[in-house]
Amino acid sequence: MSPGKISEYIIESLIKLSGLIIVGFVILIFLFLFRDAVSLFGGYSPGAFLFGRNWLPISEPPQFGILPLLIGSVYVTAGAIIICVPLGVAAAMYIAEVAPKSLKHILKSLIEILASIPSVVLGFIGIVWLGPFLKNTFGLTTGMCGLTGSLLLAFMAMPTIISISEDALVSVPRTFKEAAYGLGATKWQMLWRVMLPSAASGIIAGIMLGIGRVIGETMVVMMVTGNAPVIPESILQPLRTLTATIAGEMGETVSGSEHYYALFAVGLALFIITFIINLIADISLQKARK
Amino acid sequence: MVNVNPQVIIQTINLNCFYGRMQALTNLNIEVYKNEILGIIGPANSGKTTFLRALNRLNYLNPTYSQKGAVIFDNQNADDIPDDMLRKRIGIIFALPQTLPTSIFQNVAYGPKVHGIKKKSELQGIVESALKKAYLWDEVKDRLDMPAPRLSGGQQQRLCIARTLAVEPEVILYDEPCSGLDPISTAKVEDAMGELKSDYTQILVTNNTKQAARVSDRTAFFLMGEMVEIGLTNTIFTTPQDKRTDDYVTGRFG
Ligand SMILES: Nc1ncnc2c1ncn2[C@@H]1O[C@H](COP(=O)(O)OP(=O)(O)OP(=O)(O)O)[C@@H](O)[C@H]1O
Ligand SMILES: [Mg+2]
C-alpha cells in the first residue's frame, strides 16, 4: 500500500471507530437505565406506573404514577414549541431577507449572547420577574406555573432555531429568489412560497435541535413551574415535569430503594420519548428532502 | 416583417447603470417595438444582461446597483409601476434554467398563484396552455407531478418559458436562453419563440450571433456598455454602418 492509501485507511478506521464508540455509549446508557428501571417492576406494576394519576413517592404505600409528570412535561414542552417555532422562524426570515445589513449584524450577535445565558440565570429571571408578572396579568394564585416554564424554555430554544434556520435560508440558491421575483412575486410571496420550502430541511433540523433543548432542560423548569406533581388542568397551573422530578428527588432517595428505581424508570420513559421524537423527526426530514 | 408604423412598447432614455461606482451601461437610448423579436448581441461584459434586467428592475436585487435616466414601458415610467406588476408584465428567462425544486405543475402554477389564482381547475387550464405554447406539453403531460429538476436542460428551459407565459406577460426577456443547450433543444426553444411572436414582444440576448440572425427581426450590437448600432437584422449582418459591428458579426473579434 502507498503511504497515501495507508493514511486514508487509518483515517477511515478512526472515523468508523468514533461512530461505533458513540453507538456503544447510547446502548450502554440505555442498558444502564433499563437495568435499574426494571427493578421497580418487581414489586410495582408497569400499568400503575404508566397510568397512575398520583406521584406520591413517600406516602404509605408509595404511588409512582407518572401521568401527572408526563402531562406536565407535555404542557410545558408543547407551550414552549408553540411559542418558539413561529417566532424563531419568523425572526430567521427577518434576519435573512428583510433586515438591513447593519441591523443584521447586531441581531446576530445579540442572538449569540442570548444563547450563552446560563439556564439558572433564566430561572432566576423567571422567579423574580416573569412569574410575578404573569401572576398579576392573569390573576393567578402563583406565577410559578407551566406558562412561565414554557416562556423561558421558548426563550432558550429560540437562538438555536433562529441561527440554524437563518443559515438554511441564506443558503437557498439566489436563482430561486430571482425566478420568483422575475415572475412578479412580492417579497412576502417569495419568502413564503420559495424560500421557506427550499430551506425546509434546514429549518426543521433547527427546530428539532431547539425542541431537543426544550425537552431535556431541567434547571429552569425545576425553578419556575411550581413543582406540583398533580395533573394540571391548564398551563396556568403549577405542575412538574419528568426531568424536574428526577433532578429534584434523586438527592433524597436511598440508593436501591423503590423510589430510587422509580426515578430510573422515569428516566427510561424520558429516554424512550426523546428517542421516538428524534426518530419521527428523522423520518419526516428524509421525506421532506425527497 | 417589421411594422411599417411600429408601436413602441419599451423605450429607454439616457439610461445609465452602475454597480457601485462601476458603470455597466452608458447613455442607452433604445426603442423596442411591439411584437418584434429584438436580438441583442455583443461580447462578454458589454452590458447585455444589465440592460435586460434594468427593464424589469431585477438589477435592484443587487444592493450596490443604481441607475440614471428612464425606462418607459407602455407610456409609463417603469419606476412608477410597482415591482411585482412590472415583472408580471415583463417576464424573464435566465441563461441557466431556474426551475424551482417542486413539481412541473407547481413550477408553472407558481406565477398564477402568486397573482391570486387559487382555483385548481383554472390553474390546470393555465398550466396546460402554457406548456403547450412552450412546446413542452407532449413531453410532460403524463408526469406533471414529477420534480422539475429531473427534466433535461432543454426541457427545463422550456418549462421556464411556460412558467413565464403562465403569468401572461406582454414582454418576454431572454438572457442567453440556449447557452447551455444542445442544438436540438436550441431549435425547439427558437421554434417556441417564433410561435410566440404574434402575442408577445420578445428581447433575446445571445452570445451566439447566428441565433440572433436566425430569429430576431432587428438586432442591436452592444460594446463596453454602449449600444453601437441597431437596425434590421439583415442590415446589421450584411451592411452594418459601424466598423466595430462589422468586425463582431464577421467574427473578427469578440
Ligand atoms: N452584480 C454585479 N456586480 C458588479 N458588477 C457587475 C455585476 N453584474 C455585472 N457587472 C459588471 O457590469 C458589466 C456588464 O455586465 P453584464 O452582465 O451586463 O454583461 P453581459 O453583456 O451580459 O456579459 P455576458 O455576455 O458575459 O453575460 C460588466 O463589466 C460586469 O463585470
Ligand atoms: Mg449576461
| ipTM score | 0.87
Nearest listed ligand to the Cα of residue B63: 1
Percent of chain A with pLDDT over 90: 73
Q: Report the length, in residues, of chain B.
A: 254
Give the minimum alpha-carbon distance from B42 to chain A in angstroms, rounded to a whole number: 24
Q: Is the pLDDT of residue A248 over 80?
A: yes
Nearest CA to ligand 1 atom 29: B45
Q: Report the length, in residues, of chain A.
A: 290
Residue range B49-60, pLDDT digits in tens: 999 999 999 999
Q: Is the pLDDT of residue A76 over 50?
A: yes
Residue A85 C-alpha to ligand 2 middle, in angstroms? Answer: 41
Nearest CA to ligand 1 atom 16: B47
Task: Name, in order, each residue with C-beta under 8 angstroms of B223's C-beta and a sequence gap of 6 or more.
Answer: B42, B43, B46, B244, B248
B96 and chain A in contact, CB less than 8 A: yes
Q: Please report the pLDDT score of residue B73 as a whole number.
A: 96
Phi, psi for B202 (deg, rounded to 5): -130, 135
Give the minimum alpha-carbon distance from B133 to chain A in angstroms, rounded to a whole number: 17
The average confidence (pLDDT) of chain A is: 91
Q: What is the DSSP letter of B201?
A: E
Distance CA B86, CA B39 (A): 21
Q: Is the pLDDT of residue A56 over 80?
A: yes
Distance CA B133, CA B192 (A): 7
State pTM to two decimals.
0.81
Mean pLDDT, residues B189-196: 90
- Residue B70, classified by CB atoms within 10 Å of its CB into exposed (0-12), middle (13-18) or buried (19+), is middle
Q: Do B85 and A193 touch (CB under 8 A)?
A: no
Pocket test for ligand 1, best of B49, B52, B221 (most atoms within 8 A of CB): B49
Mean pLDDT, residues B66-70: 96
Closest CA to A169 of A283, A280, A91, A81: A91
Q: Do A184 and B113 touch (CB under 8 A)?
A: no
Q: How many CB atoms lie within 10 A of CB B142?
A: 8
Pocket test for ligand 1, best of B45, B46, B93, B178 (most atoms within 8 A of CB): B45
Mean pLDDT, residues A102-117: 92
Q: Do B96 and A175 touch (CB under 8 A)?
A: yes
Closest residue to A182, CB basis, from B63, B85, B91: B91
Cα→Cα distances B128→A212, B90, B94, B122, B173, Å: 45, 21, 22, 10, 22
Domains in chain B, please, with CATH?
8-249 (3.40.50.300)
Mean pLDDT, residues A80-89: 95
Q: Do A189 and B167 touch (CB under 8 A)?
A: no
Place A290 in a pLDDT band, splitting at 50, 70 and 90. Answer: low
Distance CA A24, CA A19 (A): 9
Residue range A117-176, pLDDT digits in tens: 998 999 999 999 999 999 999 999 899 999 999 999 999 999 999 999 999 999 999 999
Half-sphere exposure (CA, 13 Å, Cβ side) for B9? 18
Nearest listed ligand to the Cα of residue B53: 1
Residues β-bridged to residue A70: none
The average confidence (pLDDT) of chain B is: 92
Measured distance between the N- and C-terminal CA atoms of chain B, rounded to whole angstroms? 29
Q: Please report the pLDDT score of residue B96 as a whole number.
A: 85
Q: Is it true that domain A46-289 has CATH number 1.10.630.10?
A: no
Residues β-bridged to residue B173: B92, B203
Q: How many CB atoms lie within 10 A of CB B153?
A: 14
Mean pLDDT, residues A42-69: 91
**Residue A199: closest C-alpha in chain B:** B101
